Amino acid sequence: MNFAIPRNNNSEMVLYIWKIIELPSISLSDLLYELSFELFLFSPNGANQFIQKVIDNNFLIEIPNNMFKLSNNLEQKLKNWHKKEKLKF
């Protein structure tokens, strides 16, 4: 199993984060907090920049109530990953 953080690939980084936080959606402020103060992946400024990049690239999409979720493509990849992980056990 590869535990390396995929810092050079934004879509893989978003998937990496979603595998950890395991939420269907999240607010921007909660995501910023998670990235900076729970996971320690970015400084608050760096987290803000990363979040804006992944929104601009449509890896995260806005849904009602100012919440964000994975794009359909990344959501499908996450579901496939979950299926593979379940088969291991």
**Domain assignment present for 1:** no
Q: Which domain holds residue 46?
A: 10-84
**Domain assignment present for 55:** yes
Nearest CA-CA partner of 60 in 49, 72, 77:
72
**Domain assignment present for 3:** no
**Domain assignment present for 77:** yes
**Domain assignment present for 2:** no
**Domain assignment present for 47:** yes
Q: Are 43 and 31 in contact (CB under 8 A)?
A: no
Phi, psi of 6 (to 5 degrees): -80, 65
Span 12-59, pLDDT tens digits: 999 999 999 999 999 999 999 999 999 999 999 999 999 999 999 999
Q: What is the CATH number of the domain that holds 47?
A: 1.10.10.10
Span 58-82, pLDDT tens digits: 999 999 999 999 999 999 999 998 8
Total number of domains in the chain? 1
**Domain assignment present for 5:** no
